[in-house]
């Protein structure tokens, strides 16, 4: 996948963009960390943005314009961008810390909806991670986020099932991992 990404043209100004998409609990964050290590070992400047920094239980995907305006447009013009990471420390999400994003060689977008249809013309490569059955993924996310999040995670899984079906993300991926 790293080879395919580096062989592909930059489509966001000077930046190659890799989207690692798939349902919750599939292993996207783990894969993104491995890809970033591999890219940095090759001397590539990389930045990581997780959709978790934007999404909330009540706003799983409509936040995208904040990413476009704050990060993607500036990077396309060759200038740094910035966004506000959602702060969940009080249990109620609200805009938190300002995160600055320098102009990298490769931007890794990781998380649910990162490979959405509206962004595909900007992507150098799209990776889909399925991560096993829905029940396996729910078990992993509850273990990660706590039993208090089970109902929200179940609702989230129902949403993302419909989202991916309509958006066609799995079929658009150049790399598909289970």
**What pLDDT, on the 0 to 100 scale, is given for residue 8?**
98
Which of 133, 173, 175, 124 has the alpha carbon at shortest distance from 24?
133
CA nearest to 49, candidates 118, 102, 128, 121: 102
pLDDT at residue 145 greater than cutoff 90: no
Domain boundaries along the sequence of the chain: 2-177
Can you give the C-alpha Rg of the chain in angstroms? Answer: 16
* Contacts (Cβ under 8 Å, ≥6 apart) of 14: 78, 103, 105
The superfamily (CATH) of domain 2-177 is P-loop containing nucleotide triphosphate hydrolases (3.40.50.300)
Proportion of the chain above pLDDT 70, given as a percent: 100
Residue 130 clears pLDDT 90, i.e. is over it: yes
At residue 91, the pLDDT reads 75
Q: Which H helix or E strand runs over 127? A: strand 125-129
Give the model's pLDDT for residue 92: 81
Phi-psi region of 5 (alpha: psi -120 to 50; beta: other; left: phi over 0): alpha
3-class secondary structure, 131? coil
pLDDT in tens, 67-92: 999 999 999 999 999 999 999 878 78
Helix (H, G, I), strand (E, B) or coil at 51: helix
Q: Are strands 16-21 and 81-87 parallel, antiparallel or unpaired?
A: unpaired
Q: Are 70 and 54 in contact (CB under 8 A)?
A: no
23, 130 Cβ separation under 8 angstroms: yes
């Amino acid at each position: 996948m790293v080879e395919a990404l580096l062989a592909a043209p930059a489509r966001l100004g000077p930046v190659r963009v890799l989207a690692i998409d798939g349902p919750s609990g599939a292993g996207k964050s783990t894969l993104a960390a491995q890809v970033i290590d591999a890219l940095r070992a090759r001397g590539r400047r990389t930045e990581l943005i997780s959709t978790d920094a934007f999404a909330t239980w009540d706003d799983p995907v409509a936040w995208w314009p904040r990413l476009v305006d704050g990060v993607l447009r500036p990077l396309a013009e060759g200038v740094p961008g910035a966004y506000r990471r959602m702060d969940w420390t009080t249990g109620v999400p609200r805009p938190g810390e300002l995160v600055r994003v320098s102009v990298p060689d490769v931007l890794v977008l990781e998380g649910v909806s990162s490979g959405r249809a509206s962004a595909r013309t900007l992507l150098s490569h799209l990776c889909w991670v399925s991560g096993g059955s829905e029940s396996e993924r729910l078990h992993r996310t509850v273990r990660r986020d706590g039993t208090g999040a089970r109902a929200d995670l179940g609702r989230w899984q129902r949403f993302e099932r419909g989202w991916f079906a309509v958006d066609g993300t799995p079929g658009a991926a150049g790399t598909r991992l289970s």
